[in-house]
Structure 1
Amino acid sequence: MPTPPPTGPLVTRDTVSAQLLPLGVRPGETLLAHSSLSSLGWVCGGAVAVVQGLLDALGPDGTLVVPTQSGGLSDPALWSSPPVPEEWWPTIRAQMPSYDPLITPTRGVGVIPETVRTWPGARRSAHPQTSFAAIGPRAAEITEGHATDCRLGERSPLARLETLDARVLLLGAGYDACTAFHLAEYRIPSPLVQVGRPAAGGWEEVTEVSITSERFDELGSDFERDRPVVRGRVGAADTRLFPVADAVAYAERWLALHRPREPYADAAPRAREPRTRP
């Protein structure tokens, strides 16, 4: 069958920066970006052009931050898309490579974060499953000190971003991808769970706060109704811009009212694709 023609709009590096600035992105600020490359249209230069456009909009004094999660470094007993045979679990746990911030690829967060991860000068945080990468003057300040037993809580880059008055940019991504909401889960009564993962000395189990993206779309809809959220478009992508601190404060109140009190099933923050085996 013939290859279908590309669908637009045509998006370039200049398109990204030119459309972000009227949206309100400020040179010199710190921006936590959640993104979907395919939502933008036909991007000349792909993810590289998008990252260049983001950096152009932020300027030399701005800092770009993205989630660089590696959810494949998890217990095979929890894999569902697809599952693996139970008899494989011990071998997978014994042989799975441990996290290395320099070489462990991202999984399920899209090609733009993977591009940022490998960008010259990028810094990446230490958590083996829910790391963040950053480019810019504040990259080290944001990524250093990410505790390996604190996925998205007070000792993670999210808390640093809140303190630094960073803003969230949803670039073609929905509220289900908004990691800032997870920081609120650490500030309300939430169950604890055992989280398994590979480590340098073999398989390890750590106690963590249970996190889930369930109902984040509903939370985001209410947040957007009640709080100032700048909306616009970059290429064909619906785009939203709002402060990290505002999102966390609203989510803390909303989750306390709408989340059931009984323990919920643990999950990594939902990525842009189903969890798959490594």
Structure 2
Amino acid sequence: MTTDAGTPGTRRSLAAQLRLLGVRPGATLLVHAALRPLGFVCGGPQAVVLALRDALGPDGTLVVPTHTPDNSDPAQWRNPPVPADWWPLIRAEMPGFDPAVTPSRYMGVLAETVRGWPGALRSSHPQVSFAALGPAAEQVMAGHDRADMLGEGSPLARLHDLDADVLLLGVDHGVNTSMHLAEYRRPSPPRERLGGAVRTADGGREWVWWQDVRLDETDFGALGRDLEATGAVRIGPVGTGTGRLMRQRAAVDFAVHWLARNRTMEDA
């Protein structure tokens, strides 16, 4: 990363930018990040994690998504799909989700760095786990309900309880997972059957099914633009990229009303 002065980004310079953006010491902060837009950072993802923790201070808690969307029913895979005659084998052989060892997928290197950080705690959901570092980590990670995966039984709801912040670092609102909590808060949201492999108490594995809300992030970009128009999102430079910081409670509450106005029951 290069700054305006033409020097590489560092732990110190990123922490200063994060403070200017409004990262609150002592806050609980959910971060969605892509590091490439930040440019060259001396120390890479490790330095970014350290900068985030410096900005949050010792009383702050850093939270990241560590989802595993490939641990899902292969009948629903689209990018790419797999042959139907593979489905039984995948369901029978997919390793059971283990919070301690199962890597996240498609969440970026920052999330993986936090997941493997000494002292990090991870929630137990086989598809949409989160990981956290800091004093509130246990409170946020505990009791992640399988059949309420991004709803009231999830870390997202615990973040709402704590009036946490959300930081979009080099990414846009299309990946703002907190908006899914608003989908659960709609009247009678549509539901679907989901599946995944879990680790059993004896160290084995099994395939499990559950009913959950059908998630849809296709309009989150438009939702986010309207949220920004209210002034609820602070936008500023982080490295050569852009950070978007918001109070999670305000964003979710706005999204509940926005979805009621902009999605029909058929869209739901």
TM-score range (shorter-chain normalised) is over 0.9
Quick one: distance in 2 between partners of 1:145 and 1:87?
35
Match of 1:21 among 13, 19, 37: 19
Identify the residue that residue 99 of structure 2 maps to in structure 1. 101
1:88 paired with 2:92, answer no
1:263 CA displacement = 5.9
RMSD over aligned Cα atoms: 1.3
Pairing 1:224-263 to 2, within 5 Å after superposition: 224-262=228-266
Which stretch of the first structure deviates more once superposed, 194-203 or 97-106? Answer: 194-203
Structure 2 unaligned regions, length at least 5: none
Counterpart of 1:209, as a letter, is V
Kept in 2: contact 1:65–1:132 (CA 8 A) = yes
Pairing 1:44-193 to 2, within 5 Å after superposition: 44-189=42-187, 190-193=189-192
1:257 CA displacement = 1.3
Aligned residues: percent identity? 52
Q: TM-score, normalised by structure 2?
A: 0.93
Identify the residue that residue 196 of structure 2 maps to in structure 1. 197
Identify the residue that residue 270 of structure 1 maps to in structure 2. none
Counterpart of 1:193, as a letter, is E
Q: Size of the alignment, in residue pairs?
A: 258
CA 1:167/1:84 → structure 2, altered by over 3 Å: closer, same or farther?
same
Counterpart of 2:127, as a letter, is Q
Helix, strand or coil for the counterpart of 1:84? coil
1:227 CA displacement = 3.8
Helix, strand or coil for the counterpart of 1:232? strand
Quick one: distance in 1 between partners of 2:80 and 2:32?
25
Identify the residue that residue 218 of structure 2 maps to in structure 1. 214
**Cα offsets for 1:87-109 (capped at 9, x unmatched):** 11111110001111001110111
**Cα offsets for 1:147-206 (capped at 9, x unmatched):** 111110001011111111111111111001111111000010310110011134522210
Quick one: distance in 1 between partners of 2:115 and 2:20?
27
1:260 CA displacement = 2.7
Counterpart of 2:164, as a letter, is A
Counterpart of 1:196, as a letter, is G
Deviating 4+ runs (over 6 angstroms): none
Kept in 2: contact 1:149–1:208 (CA 8 A) = yes
Kept in 1: contact 2:38–2:241 (CA 8 A) = yes
Counterpart of 1:54, as a letter, is L
Quick one: distance in 2 between partners of 1:167 and 1:263?
29
Counterpart of 2:88, as a letter, is P
**Cα offsets for 1:14-49 (capped at 9, x unmatched):** 121111111111211111111111110012211111
Helix, strand or coil for the counterpart of 2:156? helix
Quick one: distance in 2 between partners of 1:226 and 1:8?
31
Quick one: distance in 1 between partners of 2:239 and 2:99?
32
1:258 CA displacement = 1.0
Helix, strand or coil for the counterpart of 2:13? helix
Kept in 1: contact 2:96–2:197 (CA 8 A) = yes
Kept in 1: contact 2:194–2:209 (CA 8 A) = yes
Q: TM-score, normalised by structure 1?
A: 0.90
